Amino acid sequence: MYRAAAPATLRIVPLDDLTAIYHRASGITHLVASPVPELLAALSEPLTLVRLAKRLGEEFYLSDGEALAARLDELVASGLAEQL
Amino acid sequence: MSDEPSEIPQGATRRRALMLGAVGASAIVSIRPALAQVSASISTCEIQVPDRARAGKYIAADGTPVPAGTKGAFAPASRPFTGQEVKQALAGGNLPGIEYERSQAYTKYIRRLQSGTSGFTCFASLQMPRG
Amino acid sequence: MRHRFDVRIGPVGFRIGSDWLGPITQLEELYRDYPEPRDGIPDFTVRLFAARPWRRFVRPAITIAGDYTIPDAAPLPLAQGLLAAEMGMNLQMALAQRRYLLLHASAVERDGRALLMTGESGSGKSTLAALLSARGWRLMGDEFALVDLDDGSVHAFPRLLSLKNEAISVVELTLPAARFGPRMEGTPKGAIRHLVPNAQAIEAMELPAAPALLLFPSFGFVAETRPVPPSEVFIRLTQASTNYVALGERGFDALIRIVAGVPAHAIDYPDTASAVTQVEALWDAL
Amino acid sequence: MGRAVSDGWLLARVLRDPAATAGFNADMWTTLIGIARAEQMIGTLGCRLDGLIVPETAARLFADARDAAEEGRRAALWEAEMARRALAGLDCPVLLLKGTAFVAAGMQAGVGRAIGDLDILVPRARIEEVEAALFEAGWEWVKEDAYDDAYYRRWMHELPPLIHRDRDRMIDVHHTILPLTARITPDAAALLADRTPLAEGGLHTLSRNDILVHAAAHLFADGDLAGGMRNLWDVHCLVEEFGIAGLAERARHHGLSREVARALRLAGCLYGSVAYGSDARHVGDALYLRRLTARDGWGRATRPFTRFAFYVRSHWLRMPPAMLARHLWIKWRKG
């Protein structure tokens, strides 16, 4: 299961292709590209990898499901999401 | 996804493709502190000798960058030094894999780094008091 | 300590202590028109001292320290005492200033609006600031621009401008009447000579200005200007700021305000004359 | 204030009684701020003086110091949280130590405190697993040289320090609170067994009394008293907040009665902790106080001979004589 940091702890400011995110819990600023903002939105409630893919599929075409796990690992490493 | 349109319920807006990127790629850059960070990394920050602005210059025995090929001066370092290596050199040790005189010259150069040059942030971060 | 000099530069008060009289005398002369720290309480302390007692007299070498210190910083010869003091003040700002977002940039003002120029040393931001001040711009500072965390305005920090190598003669020719410090040869950055900001800069140093244009100059290329996209401005400014991370969310707000509100251009220039032309052209186009 | 002092005592008296700043002139404020910064207690001072009438310039500096402490607190708690996430799978007790524990538990001692590395305590038997899990989560060695590394592993009470490759923050993983070489051997099992759970997240702190024992051990049986004013302020706050019921027995159990008693006396002398024998000064206390308060109004370290004496003493306490000789010899050869 994966869960994103609570929305209240995130300041999300789209700049151009990139989005600036200030994470209140860590005090760390992240500059992120798609799909990170979309993943954070989808993970506002805890989801398994499979359910997350399904959830995203309702809204987007997933170009490459293979990379989804890699993006999640990045999110977890950055602290923007937690693996439960 | 040739059958894509049929997947869209009547009246639904066209779905945007979500680019997940390559497995090896990175979608997050976390901002690292510049000079002010007190406990900046001493294992990950690096110092080039000389720095990019003076790339190719040789380093004289007193640490000043001089034109390439200057007699008695040392060629640029083959790789950047990590903060930890520099810290040990500053503490009187030797930069790794380098003979004494060359290490001394490089160390003098690093000591001369001033604010504004890339290496200075690293150099300075080595010296901050740790609470 | 034996000798002491207190001064306020913009909103920031300093106390400088020295084992030697020389640097203090120079500071008193060059900063003679500057005020004292507010309430007589300096924000920061700088110490210039001899690492070993005999080093006060034998090949005197100045060690730089203060409230916030780089212990192993290379000592400077006594002849470069003024430089040591300036470095000490910059160091306190870089390490510990947190009332403002600190941008490593030069700043000039016209009509209450500020032009910021940021880049690594050697990018010519000091020289450009000096030349623009000769053309009626108010000099706000050549080292740090202080961005107010509450309203985003830029506060002046008009310390002595430090001119290096070729820039020295360029500015000496442009500002023959200006006051200069001693020319110091063989410093860590080559020849350095300090320029005293003009009366206008000192008198108005209390006045903040709204940032209106942000430039990233780089020297030694064909004249060219290009707009810089917001995300690149954001990254560049986090790296040009010595205290962005330390400020937390307030720093984020201040930075976003600049990125969203201030047009940004990179300018390459072959010589300072064309640089001034490029800068003022961009300014007039605002 | 009595006579005008311009060493650590000035800071101590103001922390003890903030009202003592009434009538301070500019130079006294400047001296106080210089000393507090040098002792890394400016945040603590800023919080102590919060709400008092002070000159506007000083008030701004103290507000800045409180901000800095708040950001430091945020960063320290985040490091603890990331360590918790990294070790969650191990089902192994993880205790926060020192400053991070104070702020995580919301203790008085943590208010405004400067916090450096993250210090955690884990069972010695689990330390390899912990090390592996931390590597997995992005921590890596701060490259020490071979001698230092061997020295740590053989003799110290902690792993060589690790640093996180992205966040640039260090973590010290301890399995007890004193070097294995020290003449005193605290009961590490008891430290772990009597841990206190933190509200959320599965992290713990030492028991209240063990926190005091640790502070005393760190100060007198290990360190050279660098940062002593801050550590004794910790002791003072802990005593004021939690009292000392059962402390003497606990100290005796760990073999640290002398150190704990001295910590209480000196905290009493400096900060006026409700006097636990602080009025009955012992031989040597005066020398400790002389070392602890060795600062001048420019923030400079003073009394070099006293400082050096305590430096040598700290090594003497950490190592058997023969090993100390070898240690100093190798360090000397390495320059």
Q: Which of D78, D137, D166 sits opposite A27 (nearest CB)?
A: D78
Q: Which residues in chain A have Cβ-Cβ distances shorter than 8 Å to D78?
A: 25-28, 79
d(CA C202, CA D151): 57
CA-to-CA dists, residue D71 to C244, C253, D67, angstroms: 12, 15, 6
Q: Is B19 on the interface with A (CB under 8 A)?
A: yes
Interface mutation target, options D67, D73, D84, D85, chain A, most CBs of A under 10 Å:
D85
Q: Is B11 exposed, middle or buried (0-12, 13-18, 19+ CB in 10 A)?
A: exposed
Same domain, yes or no, for C161 and C274?
yes
**D142 pLDDT more than 90:** no
* Structural domain count, chain C: 2
Most confident of the following: C48-57, D69-78, D277-286: D69-78
C-alpha radius of gyration, chain C, whole number: 19
* Residue C231 CA to its chain's centroid (Å): 25
**Chain A residues in contact with B16 (beta carbon < 8 A):** 59-61
Instruction: Give CA–CA dist D335/D323, Å, rounded.
Output: 18
Cβ of A27 and C229 within 8 Å? no
Distance from CA of A63 to the nearest CA of B (A): 5
**At CB < 8 Å, which residues of chain A contact C?**
11, 13, 15-18, 20, 22, 24, 27, 29, 31
| Exposed/middle/buried for residue C20 (C-beta within 10 Å: 0-12, 13-18, 19+) | buried
Residue C59 confidence (pLDDT): 81
* C129 lies in the same domain as C240: yes
**DSSP symbol at B38:** T
Say what the pLDDT of residue D148 is. 64
Which residues lie below 8 Å from residue D310, measured CB to CB, with a gap of 6+?
Answer: D224, D225, D291
- For chain B, say whether A75 makes contact (Cβ under 8 Å): yes
Residues C211 and C176 in one domain: yes
List the single best residue of B43, B87, B90 to mutate versus D (max D Cβ within 10 A): B43
Residues of D with Cβ-Cβ distance to A27 under 8 angstroms? 71, 74-75, 78
Residue C150 shares a structural domain with residue C233: yes
Q: Which residues of C touch D25 (CB under 8 A)?
A: 40
The answer to whether the CB atoms of D81 and A25 lie below 8 A apart is yes
DSSP conformation letters of chain C: --EEEEEEETTEEEEEEESSHHHHHHHHHHTTTS-PPGGG--SEEEEEE-SSGGGGTSS-EEEEEESS--TTPPPEEGGGHHHHHHHHHHHHHHHH--SEEEEEEEEEEETTEEEEEE-STTSSHHHHHHHHHHTTPEEEESSEEEEETTT-PEEP----EEEETHHHHHHHHH-TTS-B---EEEETTEEEEEEPPPHHHHHTTT--BEEEEEEEEEESS-SEEEE--HHHHHHHHHHHBSSHHHHTHHHHHHHHHHHHHS-EEEEEESSHHHHHHHHHHHHHT-
Q: How far, in Å, CA of C166 to CA of C130, rounded?
A: 14
Statement: residue B90 has pLDDT above 80: no
Instruction: Choose one of C77, C96, C115: the last residue of a domain.
Output: C96
- Going by C-alpha positions, the residue among D165, D95, D180, D182 that lies closest to residue D130 is D95
- Contact between C137 and C108 under an 8 Å Cβ cutoff? The reply is yes
| C73, two tokens | 């910083």
What is the distance between the alpha carbons of residues A55 and D196, in angstroms, rounded to a whole number?
41
Instruction: Note the pLDDT of residue A14.
Output: 95
**Are the Cβ atoms of D71 and A27 closer than 8 angstroms?**
yes
Task: Check CB contact under 8 Å for D74 and A79.
Answer: no
- Across the interface, whether the CB atoms of D170 and B39 are under 8 A apart is answered yes
pLDDT of the residue at D271: 95
Residue D273 pLDDT: 77
Lowest-confidence segment of B66-70, D219-223, D298-302 by average pLDDT? D219-223
Confidence grade of residue C79 (pLDDT, cut at 50, 70, 90): very high
Q: What pLDDT is attached to residue D329?
A: 65
Task: Count the helix, strand and coil residues of chain D and give each as a percent rounded to the nearest 5.
Answer: 60, 5, 35
Condensed to tens digits (0 to 9), the pLDDT of residues D62-109 reads 999 999 999 999 999 999 999 999 999 999 999 999 999 999 999 999
- What is the total residue count of chain D? 335
Instruction: Give the pLDDT band (50/70/90) at residue A63.
Output: low
Query: Chain D residues with CB inside 8 Å of C67's CB?
Result: 34, 37-38, 299
A79 touches chain D (CB under 8 A): yes
Predicted local distance difference test score (pLDDT) of residue B131: 25
User: Which pLDDT band, with edges at 50, 70 and 90, does B7 fall under?
Assistant: very low
Q: What is the pLDDT of residue B104?
A: 86
Instruction: Give the closest residue to B118 by CA, choosing from B26, B60, B32.
Output: B32
Question: What's the gap in Å between the CA of A8 and the closest CA on chain B?
Answer: 19
SS3 category, D141:
strand
Is the pLDDT reported for residue C175 higher than 80? yes
Which of A11, A24, A31 is facing C235, going by the closest CB pair? A31
Strand partners of residue A29: A22
Q: Which two tokens stand for residue D232?
A: 């004794």
pLDDT in the model for residue B39: 30
Q: Is C186 on the interface with D (CB under 8 A)?
A: no
Look at residues C49, C78, C96 and tell me which one is the last residue of a structural domain.
C96
Cβ of D335 under 8 Å from any chain B Cβ?
yes
| Residue A82 in contact with partner chain B when CB distance is under 8 A | no
Mean pLDDT, rounded, for C144-169: 95
Average pLDDT over all residues of chain B? 67
Q: Which residues are within 8 A (CB) of C243 and not within 5 positions of it... i.e. 6 or more apart?
A: B34, B36, C94, C97, C98, C101, C102, C251
Task: Give the residue from chain D lying closest to B128, CA to CA.
Answer: D116
Name the minimum distance, in Å, from the CA of A19 to any CA of chain C.
Answer: 8
| Residues D11, D43 contacting (CB under 8 angstroms) | no
Q: Does the pLDDT at position A8 exceed 70?
A: yes
Q: Which backbone phi and psi does C250 adopt, to 5 degrees?
A: -65, -35
| DSSP three-state, residue D136 | helix
Higher-confidence residue: A10 or D307?
Answer: A10
| CATH code, domain carrying C214 | 3.40.50
Of C41, C247, C248, the CB nearest to D58: C41
For residue C272, give both structure tokens: 């300072």
C151: CB partners within 8 A, 6+ apart: none
Chain pair C-D, CB pairs under 8 angstroms: 53
Position B114 scores a pLDDT of 46
Following CA atoms D326, D331, D334, D335 in sequence, which dihedral angle do they give, to the nearest 10 degrees?
Answer: -130
Contacts of A22 in chain C (CB under 8 A): 249, 252
Is pLDDT above 60 for B129? no
Which chain A residue's Cα is nearest to B30? Answer: A30
Q: Kindly report the nearest CA distance between residue C218 and chain B, in angstroms.
A: 11
Rounded Cα gap, residues D46 and A74, in angstroms: 39
Q: What is the pTM of this model?
A: 0.84
pLDDT band at B41 (very low <50, low <70, confident <90, very high): very low
Mean pLDDT of chain D: 88
Contacts of A31 in chain C (CB under 8 A): 231, 234-235
User: Are C41 and C116 in a shared domain?
Assistant: no
D3 interfaces chain B, CB cutoff of 8 Å: no
Domains of chain A: 2-83 (3.90.930)
Q: Is B119 a residue whose pLDDT tops 60?
A: no
- Percent residues over pLDDT 90 in chain D: 64
Do the Cβ atoms of D71 and C246 come within 8 Å? yes
Q: Measuring CA to CA, which residue among B30, B54, B36 is closest to residue B113? A: B54
> Do C113 and C158 belong to one domain?
yes
Which of D118, D140, D143 should one mutate to test binding to chain B, selecting the residue with the greatest count of B CBs within 10 A?
A: D143
- Domain containing C195 equals 100-284
Domain ranges of chain B: 1-131
pLDDT at B45: 57
Our CA angle for C24, C25, C29, nearest 5°, is: 115
* Over residues D135-152, mean pLDDT: 74
Q: What is the dihedral of CA D313, D288, D299, B38, to 10 degrees?
A: 60
Chains touching B (3+ CB pairs < 8 Å): A, C, D
Both tokens assigned to D284: 């040597």
Among B31, D106, D274, C3, smallest CA distance to A28 is for B31
SS3 D115: coil
Residues C261 and C157 in one domain: yes
Residues C121 and C260 in one domain: yes
> For chains A and B, what is the number of CB pairs under 8 angstroms?
75
Cβ contact, residue pair D26, C40, below 8 Å:
yes
Q: Do D166 and A82 touch (CB under 8 A)?
A: no
pLDDT (mean) for C185-202: 91
Using CB atoms and an 8 Å cut-off, which of residues 52-91 of chain C contact chain B? 69-74, 87, 90-91
Q: Of C96, C112, C136, which one is at a domain's C-terminal end?
A: C96
Rounded mean pLDDT, B48-54: 76
- Whether residue C181 is predicted with pLDDT greater than 70 in this model: the reply is yes
Tell me, yes or no, whether C91 and C104 share the same domain.
no
Question: What would the pLDDT profile of C214-266 be if each residue is shown by its tens digit?
Answer: 999 987 768 889 898 898 898 889 888 889 999 999 999 999 999 999 999 99
Q: Does A77 touch chain D (CB under 8 A)?
A: yes
Amino acid of residue D66: R
Residue B121 has pLDDT above 60, yes or no: no
Residues C140 and C258 occupy one common structural domain: yes
Distance CA B32, CA B30 (A): 6
Which site among D163, D169, D170, D330 would you substitute to test the B interface, given the most B Cβ atoms closer than 10 Å to its Cβ? D163
| Residues C47, C167 within the same domain | no
CB of D138 within 8 Å of a chain A CB? The answer is yes
> Is residue D280 helix, strand or coil?
coil
The two tokens of residue C21 are 């009289």
Question: Is the pLDDT at C18 greater than 90, yes or no?
Answer: yes
List the 279-298 stretch of D: residues with Cβ below 8 A of C.
Answer: 298
pLDDT at B125 over 90: no
Which residues from C are below 8 Å from D55, CB to CB? Answer: 39, 41
Assess whether pLDDT exceeds 50 at residue D231. yes
Chain A / chain D CB contacts < 8 angstroms: 21
**Residue B40: per-residue pLDDT:** 34
* pLDDT exceeds 70 at position D279: no
A67 at interface of B, judged by CB pairs closer than 8 A = yes
C189 touches chain D (CB under 8 A): no
Residue D324 pLDDT exceeds 70: no
Q: Are residues C181 and C121 in the same domain?
A: yes
User: Which residue, C31, C13, C12, C10, is CA-closest to C209?
Assistant: C10
Round to whole Å and give the CA distance between C183 and C79: 10
Crossing angle (nearest 10°) for helices D228-242 and D8-16: 20
